Amino acid sequence: MKSIRLYLLLALLATITLVNFVSLLHGYQSSMQKAQNLFDSRLESTAILIASANSRQVGQETVTNQQTPYTFFQIIDDNGQLLTRSENAPDKVLGELEQGFHIINFGSYRWRNYVYRDTVLQRWVIVAERIDIRYMLAEDVVMESLLPIVMAIPVAALIIWFAVGIGLKPLNAFASQLSERRADDLRPIELERVPKELTTVVNNTNSLLLRLAEAFDREQRFSADAAHELRTPVSVLKVHLHNLRTRLGKDDEDIILLRDGVERMGHLIEQILALYRTSPDQAAVKFEHVDLFKMVQEIIARGYDAFESKQQEIELDGESHIIEGNVFALETLISNLLNNANKYTPEKGQIHAVVRRHEEGVLLRVEDSGPGIPEDQYQRVFERFYRLHGDQHNSGVVGCGLGLTIVKHIADLHHASIQLGTSAWGHGLRVDVIFPLRAVNYA
């Protein structure tokens, strides 16, 4: 069943049509029978009337002034001799001379006749009517009463369509409230009037939404607690490592490996937390107006030391564009793109960031003069923990294979699209993130 409204319309209309039309046929047959009875009784009265009006007719004589083409009469004596008749009547006796109704054939038509025995003058009076005309007259009368039943069907269809539409309004309102909701909106559904049939569905859905909201709250608290609990020991570890290096006074190979390991662990913790917080199914995300250009500018300024340490040339082009987004998520997205560019671009390399208007919304582009990514790896780099060239990654940079996965999550969260390509330098990576028009606020 694809549509409840269509089902109800068709099922109700088919039921009404079947019941009405079967009744109509039954009524038609009964009415036709009644009409035939009426015609018969009129025929009988006519026969008696003709017998009285023609009491002095004794010889064979034709009456020319009284009959319509579809009725005739004859008066016959006991010897079967025709005494008189209407002009259109046969000149001999057709059928039996027995009082009552009979059917005879005459002049290519079937006739219904009534034979009347005039006991006073000892003669027979026959009056006949054409059967087809009787049926036609009867049908004309009956049809007038049947026509409204047939004409009522389209009207009924229209009324059912609107009535069912009104009946389904609460269901449609329920569905539209669900479909128009943002992923982070876990408030209970409120309907003005909940019909009995929908009460269970609405109550259960609201109870489910409540449980979901509580679960998200718990997870968020866990995320914050875990971040705090994991960050602190790593920071302490870093301090002890720094003290150890100072005390030993030289960069021992084991110390360097230990330092790299701690940095890697710290980075991994930050990325895993970012991945969780920016996951599209993480509902507790608040959207607000964000100046994308300004945000990129600030992040470049904050991380300028990293670019400076590798003597990289970084450039930002474009103009101010306000989009609707989550500040933390967007900062993470931009940081990840710029960090990747910084890490994988060699010393004295170039990095170019752009924020500008695009035909589909606002474009954020980050490209570098690094080694880039082979085209056949474009899809795979968004997978969790996937690193180019696998575990034998030889770039020598700290990474965990979550950076672009997080970027993808954040883009999905903002309904933005990501395109990877080759940078303007012909070998580096170009990442384009296009925020759609509906996420853009130009006010």
Site for another protein, rule CB under 8 A: 1-2, 7, 10-11, 13-15, 17-18, 21-22, 24-25, 28-29, 135-136, 139, 143, 146-147, 150, 153
Residue 256: closest CA among 242, 271, 270, 266: 242
Q: Is 290 helix (H, G, I), strand (E, B) or coil?
A: strand
- Least separation, in Å, of the C-beta of 39 and another protein? 17
Contacts of 186 (CB under 8 A, 6+ apart): 209, 210, 212, 213, 216, 283
Nearer to another protein, 24 or 230 (CB): 24
Find out whether 435 and 414 touch, Cβ atoms under 8 Å. Answer: yes
- CA gap 335, 264 in Å, rounded: 17
The owner of tokens 């023609």 is: 54
DSSP E strands, 131-191 = none
Nearer to another protein, 105 or 145 (CB): 145
* Element containing residue 181 per DSSP (H, E): none
Contacts of 76 (CB under 8 A, 6+ apart): 82, 83, 93, 97, 123, 124, 125, 126
Burial 381-398 (b: 16+ CB within 10 A, else e): bbeeeebbeeeeeeeeee
- Least separation, in Å, of the C-beta of 94 and another protein? 26
CB neighbours of residue 299 within 10 Å = 21
CB neighbours of residue 252 within 10 Å = 12
Nearer to another protein, 18 or 201 (CB): 18
Nearer to another protein, 17 or 177 (CB): 17
- Least separation, in Å, of the C-beta of 198 and another protein? 21
Nearer to another protein, 121 or 146 (CB): 146
- Least separation, in Å, of the C-beta of 122 and another protein? 42
Nearer to another protein, 150 or 248 (CB): 150
- Least separation, in Å, of the C-beta of 199 and another protein? 24
- CA gap 120, 315 in Å, rounded: 131
Nearer to another protein, 24 or 284 (CB): 24
Nearer to another protein, 19 or 424 (CB): 19
- Least separation, in Å, of the C-beta of 147 and another protein? 7
One-letter identity of residue 54: N
- Least separation, in Å, of the C-beta of 109 and another protein? 15
Find out whether 30 and 138 touch, Cβ atoms under 8 Å. Answer: no
71-77 and 61-63 strand pairing: unpaired
- Least separation, in Å, of the C-beta of 13 and another protein? 8
- CA gap 285, 220 in Å, rounded: 11
